[in-house]
Homo-oligomer: A and B are copies of this chain.
Amino acid sequence: MISIKDIAKKAGVSISTVSYALNGNPKVTEETSARILKIAREMDYVPNAAARTLKSRSSKIIGVYLTDFSGAFYGEVLQGMKEVLNKRGYDLIVCSGSYSHRLLPQRMIDGAIVLDHSFASEELLQLAERGHKLVVLDRELNHPNVNQVHLDNKAGAALAVEYVIEKGHRKLYVVTGPQGSYDSKQRLQAAKQAIERNPDVVYVEIEGNFTKESGELAAKQIMKEYKEPVAVFCLNDEMAIGLYNTLVKADFRIGEQIHIIGFDNIELTQYTQPRLATIDYSKRKWGALASEQLIKLIMGVPVEHERIYVTLIEGGSVGEG
């Protein structure tokens, strides 16, 4: 491994001069600087990150924690994060699993964005307490070193429920996410509230877990109980797609017999026929905003919690009731 020491030797100067030259410090002559830079390039010198991190106490790397790597859904969110971070001179790395939690306390990364409900809030709080900067997207966590960037789940759920009610439906299934999910809880709570405002609406809850499989299971239950047209609010699109496919295979007519609305507006929703109604928000913006908040936290700029707004996307999957 070639270090500034090697360059110094070759250039016949001291290591500090090399360091200055490499860092563009105007203290050194144009001439010496040019010579040093040339030698550095010739030896293709690359600074050692560990040494730099040790000295500067910052690695310029941000980690994002995901529950798993299957993230079809997270692609855009991550893209949004990366763009902002790179622009600010930071690298983004994606981590998953508790094994990687060490990266933060060991100071391998300067901060983290959390989108992984299997990462315990207590552990996060401890990290925050130790001075680590965090942005959480999937829970509430109040600490000066933690910022929250949440979806406006409540507004979204209310929009969805009001939409189907407005369309004339009076029997409504709600397929939930997993127990631990913050998003699911929020959406469910708001959905219930919206339903309660319409006392003539009958409502049935089905427990799901945000996977396509759980949507399929829900479909089976719904088909078994089927007597008259009903509406189904799946708390995410993944489940809505599973539900949708299963019902279509069983020759149910979506948008006539069974009306479906999802949440997230994942890419797949566009391909269903009729189109799946859903709740949309900018995933890219979600990631971008999370990154910006984290950078601010790291720079010591005061920040407020942020919110990503959502809109309703109508679709043929919800017809007139």
Identify the A interface with B (CB < 8 A).
1, 44, 46-54, 57, 59, 61, 63, 68-72, 74-76, 78-79, 82, 86, 91-97, 99-100, 102-103, 105-108, 126, 130-131, 212, 245, 249, 271, 273
Complex: A211 Cα to B52 Cα, angstroms: 41
Verify A99–B108 contact, CB threshold 8 A.
Answer: no
Q: Which of B48, B68, B75, B105 contacts A68 (CB 8 A)?
A: B75
Complex: A63 Cα to B108 Cα, angstroms: 14
Taking A70-B76, A82-B96 as known contacts, 6 extra A-B pairs with beta carbons closer than 8 A to each other, sorted by chain A number, are A1-B107, A50-B50, A50-B51, A71-B72, A91-B100, A93-B93
Residue of B nearest to A78 (CB): B69
Q: Which of B68, B74, B91 contacts A79 (CB 8 A)?
A: B68
23 contacts between A and B (CB under 8 A): A1-B107, A49-B50, A49-B53, A49-B106, A49-B107, A50-B50, A50-B53, A54-B54, A69-B75, A69-B82, A70-B75, A70-B76, A70-B79, A71-B71, A91-B95, A91-B99, A92-B95, A92-B100, A93-B94, A93-B95, A93-B103, A94-B95, A245-B271
Verify B1–A108 contact, CB threshold 8 A.
Answer: no
Pairs A-B, 4 closest by C-beta atoms: A70-B75, A72-B72, A49-B106, A50-B53
Verify A82–B97 contact, CB threshold 8 A.
Answer: yes
Q: Which of chain B's residues have a CB closer than 8 A to the CB of A126?
A: 44
Minimum CB–CB distance from A95 to chain B (whole Å) comes to 6
Q: Which of chain B's residues have a CB closer than 8 A to the CB of A71?
A: 69, 71-72, 75
Complex: A34 Cα to B176 Cα, angstroms: 49
Known pairs A53-B50, A91-B99, A103-B49; A108 contacts B61 (CB<8 A): yes
Complex: A125 Cα to B44 Cα, angstroms: 14
Minimum CB–CB distance from A48 to chain B (whole Å) comes to 6
Minimum CB–CB distance from A110 to chain B (whole Å) comes to 11
Known pairs A69-B79, A82-B97; A50 contacts B46 (CB<8 A): no
Verify A51–B48 contact, CB threshold 8 A.
Answer: no
Minimum CB–CB distance from A258 to chain B (whole Å) comes to 18
Minimum CB–CB distance from A105 to chain B (whole Å) comes to 4
Complex: A79 Cα to B1 Cα, angstroms: 32
Minimum CB–CB distance from A10 to chain B (whole Å) comes to 17
Q: Which of chain B's residues have a CB closer than 8 A to the CB of A92?
A: 95, 100
Q: Which of chain B's residues have a CB closer than 8 A to the CB of A99?
A: 82, 86, 91
Minimum CB–CB distance from A195 to chain B (whole Å) comes to 31
Complex: A80 Cα to B97 Cα, angstroms: 13
